[in-house]
């Protein structure tokens, strides 16, 4: 196993996937630190900056919603998950923006330990493309303040494209992106109302019914889990 790569881990806990196609599946959520995309409505802004003052020596010190992180090898991550998160058979790698790192050693170690591995990425980085993930969800972040471009090749290799919608222009932007990328017909397209807004929910409902797409609701916000 490749012990050279040490991943910046911000958080790790057992949860139930609240969004998208895998809603309701018990998962270990592994949150890697660092993101330069800059979405204004981001739920995890504490993960954005790699501030050396917030690097800590152990994962126990990093756990929780805070800007602290620690560097771990793939094997150390697997050992922690085995010891502390015994139930789920899925691990969801998220962030931050996890695809900025070479994720192949991490995926291999988790799969070797018997886990299936999913990722959620903004589509602005490609570190996951050859990593062998069992499920890839791209939530394309377009025209964000960080100035990062969505890479079309991330969409053609996605099982799920989950787009956050606040206004009709967001749907137009997605349609243009899909026309440019031409993802396979098996890729599931989900629309997710931004911040569970009622107006955005109505727009998403109308659109998924018109296009034969899928609605993604942030169910974890309704049932009180993070």
- For ligand SF4, the binding residues (CB under 6 A) are 35, 37-39, 42, 44, 47, 95-97, 122, 141
Q: How far is the CB of 47 from ligand SF4 (least distance, A)?
A: 6
Tell the smallest beta-carbon distance from residue 23 to ligand SF4 (Å): 18
Nearer to ligand SF4, 38 or 67 (CB): 38
CB of 105 to ligand SF4, least distance (A): 22
Q: CA end-to-end span of the chain, whole Å?
A: 32
220: exposed, middle or buried (Cβ count in 10 Å: 0-12, 13-18, 19+): middle
Nearest to 155 by CA among 175, 181, 122: 181
Q: For strand 70-72 and strand 90-94, is the pairing parallel, antiparallel, or unpaired?
A: unpaired
- Pick 47 or 192: Cβ nearer ligand SF4: 47
Q: How far apart are CA 127 and CA 56, in angstroms?
A: 24
Reference 106, options 82, 125, 130, 131; nearest CA is 131
Nearest to 131 by CA among 32, 34, 217: 32
CB of 58 to ligand SF4, least distance (A): 23
Nearer of residues 31 and 78 to ligand SF4, judged by Cβ: 31
**Smallest gap from residue 102 Cβ to ligand SF4 (A):** 18
> What would you report as the CA-atom Rg of the chain, rounded to the nearest whole angstrom?
17
Q: Which is nearer to ligand SF4, 44 or 157 (CB)?
A: 44
In this complex, which beta carbon is closest to ligand SF4, that of residue 111 or of residue 219? Answer: 219
Contact between 74 and 39 under an 8 Å Cβ cutoff? The reply is no
């Amino acid at each position: 196993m490749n012990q050279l790569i040490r991943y910046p881990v911000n958080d790790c806990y057992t949860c139930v996937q609240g969004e998208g196609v895998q809603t309701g599946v018990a998962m270990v959520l592994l949150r890697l630190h660092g993101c330069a995309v800059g979405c204004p409505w981001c739920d995890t802004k504490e993960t954005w900056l790699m501030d050396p003052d917030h690097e800590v020596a152990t994962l126990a010190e990093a756990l929780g919603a805070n800007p602290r992180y620690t560097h771990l090898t793939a094997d150390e991550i697997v050992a922690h998950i085995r010891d502390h998160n015994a139930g789920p058979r899925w691990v969801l790698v998220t962030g931050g923006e996890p695809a900025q790192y070479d994720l192949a050693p991490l995926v291999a170690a988790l799969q070797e330990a018997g886990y299936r591995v999913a990722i959620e990425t903004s589509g602005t980085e490609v570190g996951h493309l050859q990593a062998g993930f069992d499920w890839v969800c791209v939530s394309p972040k377009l025209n964000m303040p960080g100035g990062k471009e969505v890479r079309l090749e991330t969409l053609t290799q996605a099982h799920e494209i989950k787009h956050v919608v606040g206004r009709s222009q967001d749907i137009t932007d997605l349609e243009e992106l899909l026309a440019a990328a031409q993802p396979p017909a098996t890729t599931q397209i989900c629309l997710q109302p931004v911040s569970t807004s009622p107006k955005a929910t109505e727009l998403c409902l109308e659109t998924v019914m018109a296009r034969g797409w899928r609605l993604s609701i942030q169910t974890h916000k309704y049932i009180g889990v993070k």
